[in-house]
Amino acid sequence: MLSDERARIFYSDGDSVSLTVAETGLQFDRVISDLPSDVELLHPLLPKLPPDDRPNSEGETSSPLLAVKVTLFPNSGICIGFEFRHVAADGLAFNHFVKSWASICKSGGGDLSWVAKSPPCHDRELIEEHTELENSLLKTIGNYASHWDEDSRRRMLANKVRATFRIDGEHIKRMKASLANHNGSSKQSTPASAFTVASALLCTSLTRSREPEFVGEDHIDCYVILVDCMGRLKPKLPATYSGNCLSGIQVLVKRSDLIGGNGFAIAARVIASKIREMEAEGLLRSAEKFFSLSGWQEIMKQGNILSVAGSPKLGVYETDFGWGNPRKSEPVHVDFYGSVYFSDARDKEKGGIEFGLALSKGEMDAFAAAFEQQLRRFSE
């Protein structure tokens, strides 16, 4: 439920979730491939949220939160597609919901032990209420949505391909060790996380894949990285908190620094420093600045913006409806928003990360070459 003043989740008896069941002639192996493919390949597998209700007498508009589509690949497998609104949950909360649902399905509905051990937490009082932050978010979302239509969506998809890349656990270890050696006796308080080094490798590879004649070496690249704050609040939120608890950082680095020999270390140091600054400033105060309308206007001025979302903590490949773990999980919204998603690696290798992104065919080829070149540095 959304009004001019605030948003809230509202349920009435008889409310339901839209469910579509379909069959497809798409090749299952093609859909789960990591290789570049047309971004629109997956779109027929996605549901569409029902339209919003008309405003009531008090000016409130009701919007469905979730739609589900189950598509059968005859003699091959199935795909479960979701569309949900982030106003209700972030990635961690939504994945907890899906795992709860999956555990009930796997038991045939007779075993609720997983849900009993890990019940969702809906207590919004655990986060100090910040009206200014809520108002900023609503204004930012409303401003963005006002420019969003089908023509915009089609233009964003034109000539794009999406692909998936992986960084195995051994590479993560070597990147951490390389960064520790580079920092030497610096006062970095904690070792770099897997997410930090993976983000640094991604940002460096993207910058190096851009043609220098189109982007000058003194140009500032801007990477927006969303950060999970549940474990950073004081006191910490329960791991099963059902809602949104995200903030973000802006990573601004000169192109000449990222294409140099120390580009990876520079990117990792900036990312880690920005996260520490966010924590020192106070997460809610930092979020107010990050999500403010003026803040986003400043971000948009930077150019060459790419957002990094998702997390290996989501554990998307641990979900089991009773048919085994997923062969592939992909957030399709990256096709539109110019973002990259991170997740745990499907091969369950400890510490591994996979990520996916959508670019033009030429940009994807250049990125793949730059990424492999960077990764080889940590293979010897």
3-state secondary structure of 163: strand
Quick check: is 336 in a domain? yes
Answer with the one of 85, 111, 138 that is the final residue of a domain: 85
In this structure, the answer to whether residues 24 and 166 fall within a common structural domain is no
Catalytic residue among 86, 130, 219, 333: 86
In this structure, the answer to whether residues 68 and 175 fall within a common structural domain is no
Quick check: is 19 in a domain? yes
pLDDT at 151 over 70: no
Q: What is the pLDDT of residues 338-371, one digit of tens each?
A: 789 999 988 765 668 999 999 999 999 999 999 9
pLDDT at 208 over 50: yes
What are 123's two structure tokens? 């207590």
Instruction: Rounding to the nearest 10 degrees, give the CA dihedral for residues 86, 1, 229, 305.
Output: 40
8-state DSSP, 210: S
In this structure, the answer to whether residues 32 and 159 fall within a common structural domain is no
Identify the pLDDT of residue 231: 79
**Average of pLDDT values for 182-207?**
79
Quick check: is 127 in a domain? no
**Average of pLDDT values for 301-329?**
82
3-state secondary structure of 61: strand
Quick check: is 245 in a domain? yes
- How far lies 301's CA from each of 135, 143, 167, 268, 374, in Å? 23, 16, 32, 23, 29
Residue 7's identity, in one-letter code, is A
Quick check: is 92 in a domain? no
Domain span at 47: 1-85
Q: What is the pLDDT of residues 109-135, one digit of tens each?
A: 887 887 888 888 888 788 776 656 666
Quick check: is 112 in a domain? no
Is the bond leading into 36 cis (omega within 30 degrees of zero)?
no
Quick check: is 116 in a domain? no
pLDDT at 303 over 70: no
What are 277's two structure tokens? 């600054």
Tell me the whole-structure pTM to 2 decimals: 0.85
In this structure, the answer to whether residues 287 and 193 fall within a common structural domain is yes
Mean pLDDT of the chain: 83
Query: Are the beta carbons of 161 and 38 closer than 8 angstroms?
Result: yes
* Stronger pLDDT, 15 or 140, i.e. the higher one: 15
Answer with the one of 59, 85, 111 that is the final residue of a domain: 85
In this structure, the answer to whether residues 50 and 166 fall within a common structural domain is no
pLDDT at 288 over 80: no
Catalytic residue among 130, 320, 333, 365: 320
3-state secondary structure of 229: coil
In this structure, the answer to whether residues 158 and 40 fall within a common structural domain is no
Identify the pLDDT of residue 185: 46
Cα angle 211-155-148, degrees, rounded to a multiple of 5: 120
Total domains in the chain come to 2
In this structure, the answer to whether residues 49 and 159 fall within a common structural domain is no
In this structure, the answer to whether residues 30 and 165 fall within a common structural domain is no
Identify the pLDDT of residue 235: 81
Q: What is the CATH number of the domain that holds 310?
A: 3.30.559.10
Quick check: is 124 in a domain? no
Answer with the one of 50, 85, 120 that is the final residue of a domain: 85
What are 232's two structure tokens? 């950073």
Interacting residues of 122 by C-beta distance below 8 A, sequence separation 6+: 242, 243
- The answer to whether residue 86 is catalytic is yes
Q: Using CB atoms within 10 Å of the CB of residue 4, give its burial: 0 to 12 exposed, 13 to 18 middle, 19+ buried.
A: exposed
